[in-house]
Amino acid sequence: MGISSWVKAEAEKVLKLTEGQDMITIETGYGPSGLPHIGTFAENARTCFVIEAIKKLAPERKIRMLVFSDDFDGLRKVPLNVPNGSIMKPHLGAPLTVVPSPYDPRLSFGETNNNLLKAFLDSFGFSYEFISATDYYKSGRFDGGLKNVMDNYEAIREIFIKTIKEEKRADWSPFFAVCEKCGKINTTKVTGYNKTDYTVSYDCTADTEEYKSCGYSGTVSIFKGKTKVGWKVDWAMRWAVIGIDYEMHGEDLTESVRVSRDICKVLGRRPPLTFKYELFLDEAGEKISKKRGNGLSMEQWIEYSPLAALVYFLLGNPNAPKKMGLPILPGIVDEFLGYAYRAEEDDMTAPLWYLRRFKKAILPAAPPKITYSLLVNVGRTLENPDGKTLFDYALRYDPTIAADRAFYDSLCQSAANYLANTPAEKDAYEIESVMVPYLQHIRDYLAKQPAGSPLNGDELQSFLFKITKDHELAQRNWFLFLYNVFLQRNSGPKMGPFFAMLGRDNALKKTDEAIARLAV
Ligand SMILES: [Zn+2]
């Protein structure tokens, strides 16, 4: 079984659940108070894997893929990364599609972020139907669901209040009214409801430090965007009204899913099949937070790694810990490169099956002999190498890559970007002077090769081992010495291929420099 067996298993469960249905409806959710990020990509990519598997297992079934934007939610705070956020301040507490956009005076903040989401998803070739919560509420498409919530007020209340503190239970309402006077939603408190005419009464009196209420009191119909329901009820109502069959969610929403599933049943529909994924961790195993900027952002993934490596990363079990971070990125990309060319045919448990169907993910045409780590290590010895320079080094090392120019151009460009933005770390180490004379053997070996000739990395690697045997050197110490002489690190690549990629002339020059430097 391949590491992607979870995808096929999910697809089979969806097919079983939806047996006899004409249409399978799958959803991902988006909160447009921030920009699309790595979590947005991950959820959409994983959902798209499951859809590909369903299409393969049951090609006759019809599938709808919805991206649902919660743009009718109130905005609580000006997001940190927004320029000119002061124009949003007076509107805090109002729905996202009411708050003006600091980027474009013709649009709301919610619309701006919806547009960014669509551009983001389009750039990766996802296909989906976009749904705006505001549109669904205001057009009346949720009216049937809202009526259903009102009709089942007590049953929903019973489920919900068990999950909140006792002192909050008396005031709890599934409905939030949009204040008719100030247009805000987070400032209102529902004070009564009327099941015969489907109205709620409210006071606009709930202030926080971020937003202020207007003091108005009124009674409004629950329909046509005059009210909305709170998050967990909202999720359940959406599942019931649209008829969602499948949705993934982060581990942090496990409790919401449980409550929303129960409410969905009260609303008279079987809840969707849900699939929990673990949140990403940084290289040290800490949870990723935007504030700390740990882990890897989507921008960093795109700049420093081939997209296919990220897709491969996401094809592993979403419930196994997923560590990502700048220091471990070369290892992550190398894992992909080590895997990326396999001859598996039609194996739906193997990542390759999905990678081939992810249109924007470019795969190597033959098994790569070059690793990303090697490119980075060689790049560290050069002065500000660009992608072209790294490609020239890679080409000298393995001339066959010329036949796969697009893939290696992009790999070398990614490595160059990584090098330009991650300062070289230097490890503390004291050069063992006893090792220094043996550098002369490397020098002699290199000098014997004709100038400008390609080096055989494997042969050179054997030669480096031979030095340890001939002179009874501890292998570990010898290579630790070489890493430090050439990279100032305590770990490094296979040194034979490293010299081979540097090329005979450059390797000779660096060795001469090292001998001169260490002889003093
Ligand atoms: Zn108000």
Q: How confident is the model at residue 433 (pLDDT cuts 50, 70, 90)?
A: confident
Span 444-459, average pLDDT: 92
Digit-coded pLDDT (tens) for 119-132: 999 999 999 999 99
292 pLDDT higher than 80: no
Ligand 1 midpoint to CA 180 (Å): 7
Task: End-to-end CA distance of the chain: give it in Å, rounded.
Answer: 58
Ligand 1 midpoint to CA 222 (Å): 16
Is 288 or 316 the better-scoring residue by pLDDT? 316
360 pLDDT higher than 80: yes
Ligand 1 midpoint to CA 214 (Å): 4
Nearest to 219 by CA among 241, 246, 239, 197: 197
Tokens 């002061």, located at residue: 86
**DSSP-derived secondary structure for 107-157:** SBHHHHHHHHHHHHHHHTT---EEEEHHHHHHTTTTHHHHHHHHHTHHHHH
Please tell me the predicted confidence (pLDDT) of residue 312: 96
C-beta atoms surrounding 103 within 10 Å: 15
pTM: 0.93
Digit-coded pLDDT (tens) for 79-90: 887 888 899 999
Ligand 1 midpoint to CA 390 (Å): 61
DSSP type of residue 100: B
d(CA 211, CA 186): 9
Digit-coded pLDDT (tens) for 336-351: 999 887 766 789 999 9
Nearest to 422 by CA among 300, 519, 264, 299: 300
Ligand 1 midpoint to CA 336 (Å): 54
Residue 252: Cβ-neighbour burial (10 angstroms; 0-12, 13-18, 19+): exposed
Ligand 1 midpoint to CA 259 (Å): 30
Query: Average pLDDT of the chain?
Result: 94
Ligand 1 midpoint to CA 92 (Å): 12
Q: Which residues contact 161 (CB under 8 A, 6 or more apart)?
A: 169, 172
CA 479 to the chain's CA centroid: 37
Ligand 1 midpoint to CA 183 (Å): 6
Please tell me the predicted confidence (pLDDT) of residue 343: 67
Please tell me the predicted confidence (pLDDT) of residue 520: 60
Digit-coded pLDDT (tens) for 164-183: 999 999 999 999 999 999 99
